[in-house]
Amino acid sequence: CDSKRISRDHGSVYFWIHRDDLKQGDFEKVLCFVQN
């Protein structure tokens, strides 16, 4: 993910990803798997 990392939990990395289709500045919490 190219989004900003906000927190780590249980070895997983969570990101806030902007939903352009919402057009309200809302963010969706998405679980991303980091290979690095």
Degrees (nearest 5) of the Cα angle 32, 33, 36?
125
pLDDT at 29: 52
Cα-based distances in Å from 11 to 20, 22, 30, 31: 28, 29, 14, 11
> How confident is the model over 1-36, as pLDDT tens digits?
455 555 555 555 555 554 454 444 444 555 555 543
Cβ(28)–Cβ(15) below 8 Å = no
Count structural domains, the chain: 1
pLDDT at 16: 54
Residue 28, token pair as written in the block? 């969706």
